A = this chain, B = another copy of it.
Amino acid sequence: MSYQAPLRDMRFVLHELFDVSAHCELLGNGLDRELIDGVLEEAARYTGEVIAPLNRNSDEEGVTLVNGQVTTPKGFREAYQQYVDNGWASMTGPTEYGGQGFPQMVAASFHEMLMAASLSFRVYSGLTEGAVLALYKHGSEELKNAYLEKMVSGVWTGTMCLTEPQAGTDLALLRTRAEPQADGSYAVTGSKIFISGGEQDLSENIVHLVLARLPDAPAGVKGISLLLVPKFIASADGTPGVKNTLSCGAIEHKMGIKGAATCVMNFDGATGWLIGSANQGLACMFTMMNDARFQVGLQGLGVAERSFQGALSYARERLQSRALTGPAAPEKAADPIIVHPDVRRMLLTQKTLVEGSRMLSAYTARQLDLEHGHPDADARKAASKRVALLIPIVKSFFTDMGQEVASLGVQIYGGHGFIREWGMEQLMRDSRITQIYEGTNGIQALDFIRRKLLGDGAAELGKLQDELSELCSAQAQRRELSELVAPLQVRLQEWRALTAEVLAASNRDPQEIGAYSVDFLQYSSYVLLAGLWLQAAARAQDALDAGAGEAEFYQAKLHSALFYTRRILPRVSSHREALLGGADCLMALPEAHFAF
């Protein structure tokens, strides 16, 4: 199954919807439309021609661990070398360490392509960018000088070592310890599990960011520190030096992303250095968390796009049965299955969820850029709040969506969808982990409610709702958009009432928070996407009004917006009613009685 980056839609989102050129001018990074489009075309070529063809085999071949050495699937080494040589690794890295300083808004398109091409391949590089960020923000000058340049270039990679067998969601239970040494370094001892790319044969060094406890640390999450623990300690000349006392003890046998090495990492008095202050590990790690969660969201989006592409091409070629209104292709033995309304329902569900999520990914990436790079401090703060609100949505909604879309892709293929050679089922297996790692989607929903909603009494969410209402008002007079505006206005009103109810319920009973969290996040996500679809439809209508050409492209946007509004947006009704069902019916059943 091939993959071609959806360049036209990406350009629509970047240029027509969000004016990325103006964004880049504001950020002062010197990128213009021509340069951006050129980069995306080259990215499309690299991901489509170099990475995507490796994906199917990587699932069958998997990774092997022999004598502590991991071998990655055929072709990954060469592809990673290109990733480094051609500057893809350094795209978003800080310029003072050799990075190219691309904004997330552009990089997100490339990263979506990478995810679509191969989730397994992306795992090896995906956490390096987050590690760079944490080190850049919190590391000592000495550490930065020793490690950052190589990490930015991708010659060295980074990992995040958080999870331990007894400590997954609950980092308070961490046991890995770091003992201070006379030279200012620490001896790190403990075992970490689920470490993506903990060992591999792609980069010449691997820099682990490890959460551990110092000897005098307070209990719980206030006693966690972040340490840099490299596989090879950097020499003064910038080459990998002494091998550290750490090793990969095992690799996991997984449902998917089988081309990615998921490692048990054993640290046996390994030499490490503090990043940031002692006991401030969680705060330092949260620096990379928004980035890491955004990247996982893009995984859901990328997989979904690829599944849609596969399903669409199959639905146009596979001949089976006749249309309900009589033969559509009488010259053929049967009609292509895209004539069947239910197949179209599945395809349009894929298409509108994917394109809607792509708009939200660009919107979120823009806020990420503004949070870090807007010249005005107040604007940076405002963007930071918006990012905080959106990240749990992007992480959980995109990954749930990715799984749904991948499953629809399998269904459209019928029996062939279940056969590995076709590649559709792999997308389901690969993407299933995205709903779990970097904080399960249930944890995202709790974060959304507790930190992002209750944290400010829903002030930021209210601002977002106001902006969507303003969008509706601005478009309300356009006859062509009336079928989109009116339903969205109804939902916005309902959403505000629900938000008030959710705040009230939280005050009545803390159990309610956990009882409605997932449904409320889902509700919010679908309405937010409806707002973006209205915005897309408005731009499309602008283009049609202006007679600017490509009428079919813009008409398709209007059709898709209508489908989303009529057939996807109604999902919020069930979420609303379910959450109003309250916490009692969840909590009343005694634990022992579940087993009856």
Contact = CB atoms under 8 A, between A and B. Distances in A.
Interface of A: 8-9, 163, 166, 168-170, 172-173, 193-194, 252-256, 312, 316, 319-321, 324-325, 333-334, 336, 338-348, 351, 403, 407, 410-411, 414-415, 417-421, 425, 428-429, 432-433, 435-437, 440-442, 445-446, 510-515, 517-518, 552-553, 555-557, 559-560, 562-563, 566-568, 570-574, 576-578, 581-583, 585-596
Given A515-B345, A574-B574, A440 B419 contact: no
Contact of A573 (B515, B556, B574): B574
A594 B338 contact: yes
Contacts of A333: 166, 173
A479 B384 CA distance: 52
A447 to B, nearest CB: 12
A575 B556 CA distance: 25
A334 B514 contact: no
B420 A253 contact: yes
Task: Please give me the 5 A-B residue pairs with the lowest Cβ-Cβ distance, nearest first.
Answer: A341-B514, A566-B581, A570-B577, A255-B425, A574-B574
A321 B169 contact: yes
Contacts of A425: 254-255, 429, 432
A341 B324 CA distance: 46
12 contacts: A168-B414, A170-B320, A170-B334, A193-B415, A255-B429, A312-B595, A341-B513, A341-B515, A417-B436, A555-B593, A559-B585, A573-B574
Given A170-B320, A403-B407, A581-B570, A256 B418 contact: yes
Contacts of A596: 8-9, 552-553, 556-557
- Main secondary structure on chain A at its contact with chain B? helix
B563 A586 contact: yes
Given A410-B432, A567-B585, 19 more contacts: A170-B320, A194-B415, A254-B418, A254-B419, A312-B595, A324-B514, A341-B515, A341-B517, A341-B583, A343-B442, A418-B432, A428-B432, A429-B429, A559-B593, A562-B585, A570-B573, A570-B578, A572-B574, A574-B574
Contact of A436 (B343, B414, B432, B591): B414
Of the listed residues A166, A325, A343, A432, the one surrounded by the most CB atoms of chain B closer than 10 A to its CB is A432
Nearest to A506: B324
A550 B436 CA distance: 38
B581 A574 contact: no
Nearest to A577: B570
A253 to B, nearest CB: 5
A255 B255 CA distance: 10
Contacts of A429: 255, 425, 429
Given A442-B411, A585-B563, A420 B593 contact: no
A350 to B, nearest CB: 10
Residue from the set A320, A351, A514 with the largest chain B CB neighbour count within 10 Å: A514
Given A552-B596, A553-B596, A571-B574, A440 B418 contact: no
Contacts of A338: 591, 594
Given A556-B589, A562-B585, A254 B420 contact: yes
Contacts of A566: 578, 581-582, 585
Contacts of A339: 591
A425 B252 CA distance: 13
A155 B223 CA distance: 65
Contacts of A419: 252-255
Given A173-B333, A403-B407, A573-B573, A433 B418 contact: yes
Contacts of A446: 342
Nearest to A564: B585
Nearest to A425: B255
A351 to B, nearest CB: 7
Contacts of A562: 585, 588
A14 to B, nearest CB: 16
A457 B351 CA distance: 35
Contacts of A347: 594
A576 B571 CA distance: 10
Nearest to A340: B514
A445 B319 CA distance: 20
Contacts of A581: 566-567, 570
A414 B440 contact: yes
A334 B553 contact: no
Contacts of A510: 324-325
Contacts of A513: 324, 341
A249 to B, nearest CB: 15
Given A173-B333, A437-B415, A552-B596, A341 B587 contact: yes
A486 to B, nearest CB: 14
A498 to B, nearest CB: 13
A206 to B, nearest CB: 20
Contacts of A334: 170, 172-173
Contacts of A421: 253
Given A411-B442, A415-B168, A440-B414, A593 B256 contact: no
A342 B228 CA distance: 35
A436 B418 contact: yes
Contacts of A254: 418-420, 425
Contacts of A441: 411
A354 B180 CA distance: 54
Give the residue among A429, A512, A553 with the most B Cβ atoms within 10 A: A429
